[in-house]
Amino acid sequence: MAGDQESFRRAVASVPGFVYRNSLSLVVISVVWFFVSLPLVTIGPATLGAYAAILDLRSDRNRIDRSRVCHTLRMNGVAALLFSGVPVAFGAVAVTYGVTALREGSLVGEGAALLTGYTALYVALALVPTFVRLAHGDSPIEALRFGLGWLVRHPTPALTTGILSIVLFALLALLTVAFVLLFAGSTFALQITVVEAVAGQSRQSPSTTPVREPADT
């Protein structure tokens, strides 16, 4: 737990410098993500593309490789589309149960709303590390397994990162134009940095290629 906290603090502290050094590229990522996400159903693939681009900026090349981003979307874009719909579906069910329970005074309905709401939150938190691995090029099953395992092993950094993401969303939404220019780039940079720092991925894989354990000799 102490190791998680130290890794989390170092990760968060490094994000402003990364955002400053790559500000122009992150603004482009944010703007593209915003307009591609406008149909709503495209949020998953748009987020995957933004993650892949940010991983390129975090690599030794420090530049966006559009061909690699497109390749990542071809590989895992459908999975990103499907995965992103899961928390939305559970959230919609939670709201439906909640409204009905309040109107009818049903304890069972309130319980169902809480359960489905918690499930939506859990899945949303698990999708952050899942999308990181999808952007690295892992298969959907491998990425989902990593995401669930990361959340189970590191619940505090996961929840804190989720809260910080919501805070950034709220603050930038108040500034309107700043949301379009800054939200995706800064928020996704935070999420990727925390996931890789806490999991130790940044030390094991400085490039954007998938991390593989060496075979025993």
pLDDT for position 110: 85
pLDDT for position 46: 97
pLDDT for position 1: 62
For the entire predicted model, the pTM comes to 0.86
CA atoms of 82 and 140, how far apart (whole Å): 10
SS3 state of residue 138: coil
C-beta atoms surrounding 10 within 10 Å: 14
Residue 208 is given by DSSP the state: S
CA atoms of 80 and 101, how far apart (whole Å): 32
Is-contact 201 195, C-beta < 8 A? yes
The stretches of the chain forming alpha helices (DSSP H) are 2-21, 23-36, 43-58, 66-104, 107-136, 140-153, 155-174, 177-199, 201-204
pLDDT for position 211: 40
pLDDT for position 5: 86
Domain boundaries, given as residue ranges, for the chain: 2-204
CA atoms of 116 and 125, how far apart (whole Å): 14
pLDDT for position 2: 63
pLDDT for position 208: 44
What string of pLDDT tens digits covers the 217 residues of the chain?
667 888 999 999 999 999 999 999 999 999 999 999 999 999 999 999 999 999 999 998 899 999 999 999 999 999 999 999 999 999 999 998 888 888 888 888 888 889 999 999 999 999 999 999 999 999 999 999 999 999 999 999 999 999 999 999 999 999 889 999 999 999 999 999 999 999 884 344 444 444 444 444 4
